[in-house]
Every structure is written in structure tokens, then in C-alpha cells.
């Protein structure tokens, strides 16, 4: 095999819109590079292409820009922080904004979820929570509790821990045997019983009882934690059925198992509350977060931990490290500044309350898409929705790809895609007129892909 001569860095840099070097994540690279969807800037509810064409953002970027784009208070906070303190280690050192942001997040979390461990993404947050769970049982003398329980169709990031407890086939099948000692609860979605449901479906709460079966198979003394999303987002907006999360909490309490809510998507207003745990009245032992904490401006994630879990580590010599885990950029100063400013915007503009108030209007609007060609189901909860399209025979995912491509290039709207499912997750600043515009343009994209 002959290796072609590689262009010099200068030559490659001089080519306008040279797309070859960047290997895009979770993207069909060849199809994208034939007809790229390029974004040059953003403001409030819109993106703009390099040519200046306006693109309505119906996805909050990637579930994360909850306050909209390029918000002045957040931008200025990042700029000030970069000029004052660009980086500080948090291994044995710290800086004031990290403590301030941790306190603000703990105040938003329910009950005694009082301690915050920072990382840089949702993937890192989920892996961190799983490690904390394993270490928690270990320091309490229950080191036999090593088994982790996830759920089918779940998404918990792309770390080896996250894809092990996750349940999306394509995220798992290429990467070997993954972690051992992992079980999965059944998915909570059943189209026969739940099609075209607004909010939490009536059917499915009993599926939590599958955890008792896992306990019966392995014994509770071997199980460390259960991790679930209150709403499974990346797999196509699957709200928890009524009573499901409450039942999981009761079973975990009965058997001494930690319950982790993955709120990377549902946190910071997406379901009308700071955290979905508040919406459902269920207190988990840990909450993972990312995305909305900085409104997508600077990468940040973390785990909110109950006081009892944290206190279990605070033993032994005071000079000794209690948890051997962390990241170079844990609690990065720019991320903390962005997080503090984003929380101010959420509070001052009452965006969590706004999302709650808009939910009925949003759900009524998305249900108007029922009856369009190839629409099999529609689901919605909070300011989130999904439309399942019938796949093209022999080409799963193609109809969805064609629909989102038409949406971007012809309709001027950004839609999120999961296979043949279109996901709608607008910034919380969306207006009622923009909700109507989202539905009109989404309908046009669905018709074009028929």
C-alpha cells in the first residue's frame, strides 16, 4: 500500500473549508462532508452559517444551551475570569469560584444532596458516580458490593463505565466485553401501551420490579448501585412512567443499594425544575449533571452527593486523600465562572419556571405533527419531545438523516437526530411564536423525507 504524500500544515490550513482532518464524533463523516452543516456564530435562539443564513435552534445545541446562545452575562463572566485566573489546580489547591458554584448547585439540589464533585462532561460525571458508589461500599466494609445496574436503551456517556451500564447497542457492540458484573433493567418504553403520550405514561411503573429479580439472582450484598435517567433523552425522549422512580427508590432502600439519577440532560430546567428529582419527589443518592450547568458555554460536569455518602469517606488521618479520583480540569475557573453566571440567568429570568409554564403549550404543539407521513409515535415531557419516523426498508437511519438535512439546508432549523427519531429540545428562552415555527419547519422536514 502506497502512502500518498501528506500536504504541509501550511498548505492544509490555506484550503478554505478543508474538512478532511476533523473526524466528527457521532456523525456519518462521509455524508456530512459531501454536504456539510457548518455553523459560524450564534445568538439567543439562532445559529448562523458562515454565509450568514439564520438557523433556528430547536435543540439547545446538544441539550445544553438552556439559556440560549452567547448570552452577555455569561460571556462577560468568562472573559473576566480568563483575564484574572486562567487555571488553578484542584489537586491539593483550589480557587474561590469552585466553592461558590458547588454551594449554589447544592442549594438547588433536593434534601441532603449537599456535596459536589466536579469533572468536565456528562461521560465523566457518570463514570465518577459509579466509582464513588463502588468506593463508598468499600470504605464501609462492604467491598463485595461491586455489581452495577443500568437499563436497556439508556445513555450514560461514552466512558467504559457509562457504556457498560448504558443500553444503546451501537454504543456498546464495538468495544469488547466492557465492565464485568453489570446487569440491565428493561427499557420503560412500549409503543403499544404508551403511543402519543404527553408527559409521564400511565403504563410501565411496574417495570421497576425487575430490580427485585436482579437482587434475587445475585443477592443484594453484591450490588453497589442502580443508575437511571429520569427521562432517557439520547435514545428518543422516554419519560419515566408514573410511579417508576418511586418504586426504584423503595427497592434500593430495602436492599441498601445506591440510586443514581443521571440528570446530564434533565438538569437545569429541562423538565421545569432545577433537577428532575424535584419534579418526581424522589431523592437519589447521587445526581450527575453537565450540559446546562454552564448553558453549554464551557465544558463542565459533576456529581451531587448525599451527605451520608460523603461523610462515609471522611474517616482516617486528615492528611490522607479520601477518594483517589479526579481530573486535571475538575472545577476549572472558566467553567465555574460560566456556571455561576448561567445560574444567575436561570434565576433572574425564572427560566425553570418558564419551562414548566410552557410545557402544556409545547406538548399540544408537538402533537399537531401526529398524522404526518411515516410518524409512528410522539412523546413529550418538559420542553422536550421526540417524533419516531418509520425507517426506510433496509436503510435504518436514512429517513431521519434526510429529514434533518432538509431541515438545516432548506428550512433553516437545527433538529437533533437519534436514528429515525427527531428530537426537539429548544432553549428555555423559546417564545410561543418560535414553538409554532419549530413545528411548522419540522413538519416540512418530515414531509420532505417521506
CATH code of the domain covering residue 306: 3.40.640.10
The per-residue b/e assignment along 171-202, b for 16 or more CB within 10 angstroms, e otherwise, is beeeeeeeeeebbbbebbbeeeebeebbebbe
Picking from 276, 295, 279, 298, the residue whose alpha carbon sits closest to that of residue 287 is 276
At 343, give phi and psi (nearest 5°): -60, -35
Residues 15 and 97 in one domain: no
Residues 45 and 187 in one domain: no
Q: Which of 348, 370, 388 is the last residue of a domain?
A: 348
Q: Read off the pLDDT of residues 35-52 as tens digits, 9 standing for 90 and up.
A: 999 999 999 999 999 999
Cell 450490588 appears where? 223
Edge-to-edge strands, sheet with 375-381: 197-198, 375-381, 384-389, 421-424, 416-418
Whole-angstrom CA distances from 363 to 356, 380, 383 are: 11, 6, 8
Question: Which CATH number is 422's domain given?
Answer: 3.90.1150.10
Q: Read off the pLDDT of residues 76-115 as tens digits, 9 standing for 90 and up.
A: 999 999 999 999 999 999 999 999 999 999 999 999 999 9
3-state class of 153 per DSSP? Answer: coil
Q: Read off the pLDDT of residues 329-345 as tens digits, 9 standing for 90 and up.
A: 999 999 999 999 999 99
H-helix or E-strand spanning residue 385:
strand 384-389
Tell me whether residue 55 is in a domain. Answer: yes
C-alpha cell at position 423:
428530537
pTM of the entire structure?
Answer: 0.95
The average pLDDT across 286-292 equals 98
Picking from 208, 212, 275, 203, the residue whose alpha carbon sits closest to that of residue 241 is 203
Distance CA 263, CA 319 (A): 33
Tell me whether residue 274 is in a domain. Answer: yes
> Could you tell me the pLDDT band of residue 18, with boundaries at 50, 70 and 90?
confident
Residues 172 and 254 in one domain: yes
Residues 389 and 309 in one domain: no
Neighbours of 229 (CB within 10 A): 29
Tell me whether residue 355 is in a domain. Answer: yes
Q: How many domains does the chain have?
A: 2
Q: Kindly give, in sequence order, each residue whose CB lies less than 8 Å from that of residue 165, ignoring residues fewer than 6 positions away.
A: 126, 130, 148, 149, 150, 151, 154, 156, 179, 182, 184, 227
Residues 314 and 444 in one domain: no
Range of the structural domain that residue 325 is part of = 74-348
429 has pLDDT over 60: yes
Tell me whether residue 97 is in a domain. Answer: yes
Q: Read off the pLDDT of residues 124-137 as tens digits, 9 standing for 90 and up.
A: 999 999 999 999 99
Q: 436-440: long-range contacts (C-beta < 8 A, 24 or more apart)?
A: 436/365, 437/56, 437/413, 438/56, 438/58, 438/365, 438/413, 439/365, 439/366, 439/368, 439/369
11 has pLDDT over 60: no
- Do 277 and 230 form a contact (C-beta atoms < 8 A)? yes
Residues 209 and 280 in one domain: yes
Residues 240 and 251 in one domain: yes
Distance CA 159, CA 149 (A): 16
Residues 250 and 321 in one domain: yes
Residues 310 and 393 in one domain: no
- Do 105 and 293 form a contact (C-beta atoms < 8 A)? yes
Q: Which of 315, 348, 381 is the last residue of a domain?
A: 348
| pLDDT confidence of residue 256 | 98
Distance CA 242, CA 32 (A): 40
The average pLDDT across 188-202 equals 97
3-state class of 303 per DSSP? Answer: strand
Residues 88 and 132 in one domain: yes
Tell me whether residue 3 is in a domain. Answer: no
Amino acid at each position: 500500500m502506497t502512502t500518498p504524500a501528506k500536504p504541509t500544515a501550511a498548505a492544509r490550513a490555506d484550503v478554505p473549508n478543508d474538512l478532511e482532518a476533523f473526524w466528527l464524533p457521532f456523525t456519518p463523516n462521509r455524508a456530512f462532508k459531501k454536504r456539510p452543516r457548518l455553523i459560524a456564530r450564534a445568538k439567543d435562539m439562532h445559529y448562523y452559517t458562515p454565509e450568514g443564513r439564520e438557523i433556528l435552534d430547536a435543540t439547545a445545541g446538544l441539550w445544553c444551551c438552556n439559556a440560549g446562545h452567547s448570552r452577555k452575562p455569561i460571556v462577560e463572566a468568562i472573559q473576566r475570569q480568563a483575564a484574572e485566573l486562567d487555571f488553578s489546580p484542584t489537586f491539593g489547591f483550589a480557587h474561590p469560584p469552585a466553592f461558590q458554584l458547588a454551594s449554589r448547585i447544592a442549594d438547588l439540589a433536593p434534601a441532603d444532596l449537599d456535596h459536589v464533585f466536579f469533572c468536565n462532561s456528562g461521560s465523566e460525571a457518570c463514570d465518577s458516580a459509579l466509582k464513588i458508589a463502588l468506593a463508598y461500599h468499600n470504605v464501609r466494609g462492604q467491598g463485595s458490593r461491586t455489581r452495577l445496574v443500568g437499563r436497556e436503551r439508556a445513555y450514560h456517556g461514552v466512558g467504559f463505565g457509562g457504556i457498560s451500564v448504558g443500553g444503546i447497542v451501537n454504543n456498546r457492540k464495538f468495544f469488547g466485553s466492557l465492565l464485568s458484573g453489570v446487569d440491565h433493567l428493561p427499557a420503560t418504553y412500549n409503543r403499544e401501551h404508551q403511543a402519543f403520550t404527553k408527559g409521564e405514561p400511565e403504563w410501565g411503573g411496574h417495570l421497576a420490579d425487575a430490580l427485585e429479580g436482579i437482587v434475587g439472582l445475585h443477592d443484594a450484598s453484591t450490588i453497589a448501585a442502580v443508575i437511571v435517567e429520569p427521562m432517557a433523552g439520547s435514545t428518543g425522549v422516554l419519560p419515566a412512567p408514573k410511579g417508576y422512580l418511586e418504586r426504584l427508590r423503595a427497592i434500593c432502600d430495602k436492599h441498601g443499594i445506591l440510586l443514581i439519577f443521571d440528570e446530564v440532560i434533565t438538569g437545569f430546567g429541562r423538565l421545569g425544575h432545577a433537577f428532575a428529582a424535584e419534579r418526581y419527589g424522589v431523592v437519589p443518592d447521587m445526581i450527575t449533571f453537565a450540559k446546562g450547568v454552564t448553558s453549554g458555554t464551557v465544558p463542565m460536569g459533576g456529581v451531587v452527593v448525599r451527605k451520608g455518602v460523603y461523610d462515609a469517606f471522611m474517616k482516617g488521618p486528615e492528611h490522607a486523600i479520601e477518594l483517589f479520583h479526579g481530573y486535571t480540569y475538575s472545577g476549572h475557573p472558566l467553567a465555574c465562572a460560566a456556571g455561576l453566571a448561567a445560574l444567575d440567568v436561570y434565576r433572574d429570568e425564572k427560566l425553570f419556571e418558564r419551562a414548566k409554564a410552557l410545557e402544556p403549550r409545547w406538548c399540544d404543539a408537538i402533537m399537531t405533527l401526529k398524522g404526518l407521513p411515516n410518524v409512528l409515535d410522539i412523546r413529550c415531557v418538559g420542553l422536550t419531545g421526540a417524533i419516531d419516523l418509520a425507517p426506510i426498508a433496509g436503510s435504518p437511519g436514512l429517513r431521519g438523516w434526510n429529514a434533518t438535512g432538509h431541515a438545516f439546508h432548506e428550512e433553516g432549523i437545527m433538529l437533533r437526530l437519534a436514528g429515525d427519531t427527531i428530537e426537539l429540545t429548544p432553549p428555555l428562552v423559546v417564545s410561543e411564536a418560535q414553538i409554532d415555527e419549530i413545528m411548522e419547519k419540522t413538519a416540512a422536514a418530515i414531509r420532505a423525507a417521506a
